[in-house]
Structure 1
Amino acid sequence: MTDHRQNPDDAIKRTVQQCLTDQGWIALDSVAIATKCYATAVGPKQAYVYLALWGCEWVLTADYDSQGRNILESLRVTLPETADTDTDEIRRLTAALSDEIDARIADSYAVRLIRNEPQKRPFPLGTAVATPGAIALLEETLLDPGHLLSRHACGDWGDLCDEDRALNDAALEQGGRLMSVYRISEQDTVWVITEADRSVTTVLLPDEY
Structure 2
Amino acid sequence: MAHSSRYHRRHSKLLFPVGALIFSKGVDRLMREGRLDPMPFFQRHARGDWGQVSDETWYANNAALKIDGQLNSFYVVTREISLSIMSEADRSATMIRATVGTLRPLLPLSTDFRSPVPVSHFFHRPGA
SS at match of 1:144: coil
Note closer, same or farther for the CA distance 1:168–1:133 as it changes in structure 2 (3 Å cut): same
1:133-169 CA distances to partner (integer Å, 9 max, x unpaired)? 1222344454322222211110011111111101101
The aligned counterpart of 1:157 is 50
Shift of 1:130: 0.5
Task: Give the stretch that moved more between structures: 159-168 or 194-203.
Answer: 159-168
SS at match of 1:205: strand
Alpha-carbon separation, structure 1, partners of 2:75 and 2:29? 16
Query: Do residues 106 (structure 1) and 1 (structure 2) align?
Result: no
Query: Do residues 192 (structure 1) and 89 (structure 2) align?
Result: no
Query: Do residues 133 (structure 1) and 26 (structure 2) align?
Result: yes
Q: Which of residues 170, 173, 192 in structure 1 aligns to 2:66?
A: 173
Alpha-carbon separation, structure 2, partners of 1:107 and 1:160? 27
SS at match of 1:128: strand
Alpha-carbon separation, structure 2, partners of 1:186 and 1:107? 32
The structure having more radius of gyration, on CA atoms, is: 1
The aligned counterpart of 1:148 is 41
SS at match of 2:72: strand
Tell me, yes or no, if the aligned pair for 2:74 and 2:84 is still in contact at 8 Å: yes
Task: Give the stretch that moved more between structures: 172-181 or 129-138.
Answer: 129-138
CA RMSD of aligned residues (A): 3.0
Aligned residues between the structures: 100
Q: Which has the higher contact order (CA 8 A, sep 6+)?
A: 2
SS at match of 2:18: coil
Q: Which of residues 9, 13, 16 in structure 2 aligns to 1:123?
A: 16
Alpha-carbon separation, structure 1, partners of 2:39 and 2:14? 18
**Structure 1 unpaired stretches of 5+:** 1-70, 73-102, 115-119
Note closer, same or farther for the CA distance 1:187–1:125 as it changes in structure 2 (3 Å cut): same
Percent of residue pairs bearing the same amino acid type: 33
**Structure 2 unpaired stretches of 5+:** 104-118, 121-128
TM-score between both structures, scaled by the size of structure 1: 0.41
Alpha-carbon separation, structure 1, partners of 2:7 and 2:70? 33
Note closer, same or farther for the CA distance 1:200–1:160 as it changes in structure 2 (3 Å cut): same
